[in-house]
Amino acid sequence: MSSPHPTDGELAILRVLWSRNEPTTVREVHEVLQQTKNTAYTTVLKILTIMYEKGLVQRDESERSHRFVASHPAPVVEASLLKDFMQRTFGGSAVKLVQRALDDHASPDELDAMARLIEDAKARKARRR
């Protein structure tokens, strides 16, 4: 199966499905999306149909109102999107990506949190050897 690469609209729907963590109808997805953006029900239905065809969601057709679940957990999609972004923007360099984030966007508290994450990652890698 290929890596999941949802569009922005598809990603918004996936976030709804991940947050609900249960099979969800088009109407339920639409109600959540309506809270932040005026989106037509038919648009949500069409996007979910496309997502099903692309393998981004699974559809349960056993009831009158079809229910949808994400085909991939959030970390899988996030990793795929990050890898693609990192490749296109920074030539695949994680160092360049992190450097840009550090230079332009990280607060002192975030820098401390990142330092802890780096130490944890080093420890996990050492245990795998």
83 and 100 share one domain? no
Q: What is the mean pLDDT of residues 55-70?
A: 93
125 and 109 share one domain? yes
CA distance 83 to 16: 23
Q: What is the mean pLDDT of residues 8-27?
A: 96
Instruction: Find the helix or strand (DSSP H, E) in which 88 lies.
Output: helix 74-90
Is the pLDDT confidence value at 1 over 60? Answer: no
40 and 13 share one domain? yes
100 and 63 share one domain? no
Residue appearing with tokens 């979910």: 48
- Which structural domain range is residue 85 located in? 1-91
60 and 106 share one domain? no
Contacts of 93 (CB under 8 A, 6+ apart): 86
Query: Residue 40, Cα to own-chain centre: how many angstroms?
Result: 22
85 and 119 share one domain? no
CA distance 80 to 55: 15
**How many folded domains does the chain comprise?**
2
Q: How far is the CA of 91 from the CAs of 4, 75, 86, 100, in angstroms?
A: 20, 22, 7, 13
Structure tokens at 21: 């963590």
Structure tokens at 51: 């997502």
The model's pTM: 0.81
Query: Which tens digits make up the pLDDT trace of 75-113?
Result: 999 999 999 999 999 999 989 998 888 887 788 898 899
Instruction: Find the helix or strand (DSSP H, E) in which 67 lies.
Output: strand 67-70
9 and 40 share one domain? yes
Q: For residue 2, what pLDDT is reported?
A: 62
Main-chain dihedrals φ then ψ at residue 2, nearest 5 degrees: -75, 165
Query: Do 70 and 18 touch, CB atoms closer than 8 A?
Result: yes
